[in-house]
Structure 1
């Protein structure tokens, strides 16, 4: 019969777009767009696209890799795809977004450390809010 599901611990390691400002979030979304374009050029990941009705994107991305058209790949990852796969918000709102996406599903979410140490205070607040399981409005 297998093991009881209560003996498992689910850890969410998602790609997210966050930062201090909306411009930071937009920049991170563009980075995610490029990463997803490369990821979804691989057939093993196409089932995720199929769930949303984007089954034609995987083969199209794969064809661009074969043609070495790397710069064109991100054009096939539109904002709807980013909205479906990448939780996105400023530090002030990312905890609420993560709670909406994953609340009740997991007790552990990996969170990217900021590249800029000037964001450490906001980052600490986000981590504390995630650890407490609370909604966050910094």
Structure 2
């Protein structure tokens, strides 16, 4: 199983951190759209290491498909074919109030974004003229002096991050792969994610081998009691944050914890984060994350994704993980 780790996107840290990730034995690194840009760090990392690279994720809604296509196409070249474009939709509050963009039918918009990007790639590759006419986007003008020409490494694969059944099904219909939401459980993945993927593949006549599933998981790893206590505390904070979001309630619902979401949501709006953490039980942490030694965490990841995923993105939220433990986790997952 390939392993990808999140790189620090700070301009002054990204190069060294990318090298450290390579030294841990990881296969790739990824960025997310948080305090730093999601594309720029990968330009730096492409020259610092030979690791695989991906945005995980770039928020699609506020961006034009042409902007996403240019960034992805160039990164594919810079990295000599090691880049994949991961897209996500975000929630309404962030799209409207953080990005000052329009929130409108996110599943349909994402489907059209993926289709538009692939149409632009096809035009640049010279396989067909650009004539994309959709509900949200129209791309029909591409004079020769704006065409970068065929990518020597081929167009970058387009991945979609999804949790709900409609977005997951759409990803399986239109994208090259699925980035499984890290707020997840063994039961939700088996009962909700996989059936939604199968529906999307059947609608388009594709097979499982045509579509890549990339697992993502919150990891509380440590070999000592002190390390595990700190790791569990950090992961619990992220679980509380995710759990406060109405869009993520299906995972809690499957596990019988749906009633905790409204309380977490109300507490988040008043800034009572300590109380939010108190609502996260050890059972929730063990179910929604993986907990234990590097070898135990690797076994839990294998069990959760049951041969459905050949790659995994590991998160170590809110605590300082020991590099030796991460290296051991990577090695254990490579043996999977």
Q: Normalised by the size of structure 1, how large is the TM-score?
A: 0.81
Cα shift readout 1:34-90 (whole Å, capped 9, x = no counterpart)? 111111111111111111111110000111122221221111111111111011111
2:307 match: secondary structure: coil
Aligned residues: 130
Higher relative contact order (CA 8 A, sep 6+): 1
Q: Which residue of 2 aligns with 1:41?
A: 244
Aligned counterpart for 1:67 among listed residues 270, 284, 300 = 270
Check the 8 A contact 1:37/1:77 in 2, yes or no. yes
Output the aligned Cα RMSD.
Answer: 2.0
Gaps of 5+ in 2: 1-202
Aligned counterpart for 2:221 among listed residues 4, 18, 21 = 18
Query: What's the CA shift for 1:94?
Result: 2.3
Higher helix share: 1
1: CA distance, partners of 2:290 / 2:272? 27
Q: Greater CA radius of gyration, 1 or 2?
A: 2
Aligned counterpart for 1:87 among listed residues 290, 296, 314 = 290
1: CA distance, partners of 2:298 / 2:235? 19
2: CA distance, partners of 1:78 / 1:115? 21
Question: Residues 17 and 5 of structure 1: is their aligned pair in 2 closer, same or farther, counting only changes over 3 Å?
Answer: same
Q: Normalised by the size of structure 2, how large is the TM-score?
A: 0.36
2:232 matches 1:29: yes
